[in-house]
Amino acid sequence: MDRVTAAKVFLDVAQSQSFSRTATRLNMSRPMVTRYIEAMEDWLQIRLLHRTTRKVSLTSAGEACLKDVEQWLQQADQLTALVNNSQELSGMVRITSSMSFGYSQLMPAIQGFMDLHPQVRIDIDLEDSTADLTDKSIDLAIRIASNPDSSLIGKPIAVCESVLVASPAYLEKTRHTLGEIHYPQDLVKHACLGYKNFERHIWHLSKGEQFESVSVDCRLSVNEATALLHGVLNGMGVALQPTYLANYYLHDGRLCHVLPEWTPRDLTIYALYSSRKHLSPTVRALIDYLESYFADNPW
């Protein structure tokens, strides 16, 4: 049997502590996972894992050789990448992203990458909750954050700017009752729509050297940015929106930029992955492509 694949299976089982979970993550049958582990044990002449019906764990010998297997596999991957440097990229890449960014920005970028590399297959999981990369066999997470998960490796690929927006109909309807919005504190009087994943609705705004933090009362909160956008388009109030969603509607007049001189904090869009070790050439190429694509295609 292929010793490189057997080593990868062993490392994955050591991390997942489950033959079934490794089988799913590596897209192979559970009996095949068992065969690879048995082959590793035969080659090394040691028992690597304790197996019961409920739990898989490393033996003391397995734990002792784990780091050496990792180093050997890393060298094998580097040699393979060197030999295959000129070959076509291939394989499956599993990606997770927020729904709003996935719909509006990620899909066009992925289309371009797949056009360049016809042997690559892409599986995308869109959700606004934070997915566990290991449990869901995710190769790459596209996340918008000020401080990304410290357990993951992150490469910035773009900047997420935000704007305060409202529909022309809402601003006209409230002009004589709630007043126009000229200053950040004017927002307190208005209907504001909030992003549900924030515990408190405090909007931090800056204008040059001036800073304001406005605590707004959001009667409506939504856990997904696109739904929040459509609440604004329907005249329900004022909301903080990422420019990658709002710019299209600002340009065609369906949204108005509220307090244009006051800017919310920028966030960074990261490509995150669990480890530098054994990162496939296809995933590396995709990260570099996304960074270049978003630099050349601002929203």
Last residue of a domain, one of 83, 111, 140: 83
45 with 102, same domain: the answer is: no
248 with 204, same domain: the answer is: yes
- Rounded to whole angstroms, the Cα distance separating 105 from 128 reads 15
184 with 244, same domain: the answer is: yes
Q: Which among 275, 273, 276, 285 has a CA at the least distance from the CA of 85?
A: 285
Give the CATH number for residue 143: 3.40.190.10
233 with 195, same domain: the answer is: yes
Last residue of a domain, one of 83, 109, 129: 83
Can you name the residues that pair with 274 across neighbouring β-strands?
Answer: none
216 with 129, same domain: the answer is: no
Give the CATH number for residue 78: 1.10.10.10
72 with 141, same domain: the answer is: no
- Rounded to whole angstroms, the Cα distance separating 153 from 16 reads 19
Last residue of a domain, one of 83, 110, 138: 83
- What residue has token string 């459509």? 230
Q: Give residue 34's identity as a one-letter amino acid code.
A: T
Give the CATH number for residue 176: 3.40.190.290
Measured over the CA atoms of residue 75, residue 80, residue 86 and residue 89, the dihedral's sign is negative
pTM here is: 0.72
Two tokens at 92? 């499956």
78 with 200, same domain: the answer is: no
Q: How many residues does the chain have?
A: 299
pLDDT attached to residue 288: 95
148 with 17, same domain: the answer is: no
216 with 187, same domain: the answer is: yes
73 with 127, same domain: the answer is: no
pLDDT attached to residue 81: 57
pLDDT attached to residue 26: 83
Backbone phi, then psi, for 269, in 5-degree steps?
-95, 120
Overall domain count for the chain: 3
Rounded to whole angstroms, what are the CA distances from 130 to 136, 144, 201? 11, 11, 20
Residuewise pLDDT in 10s, the chain (299 residues): 688 889 989 988 988 889 988 888 788 899 999 999 999 999 999 999 998 777 889 999 999 999 899 888 877 766 665 555 556 888 889 999 999 999 999 999 999 999 999 999 999 999 877 766 766 778 899 999 877 777 788 899 999 999 999 999 999 999 999 999 999 999 999 999 998 765 578 999 999 999 999 999 899 999 899 999 999 999 999 999 999 999 999 999 999 999 999 999 999 999 998 876 667 889 999 999 999 999 999 99
pLDDT attached to residue 110: 97
Q: Please give the residue range of the domain that contains residue 292.
A: 91-156+269-296
Q: Which among 180, 165, 153 has a CA at the least distance from the CA of 246?
A: 165
151 with 281, same domain: the answer is: yes
66 with 125, same domain: the answer is: no
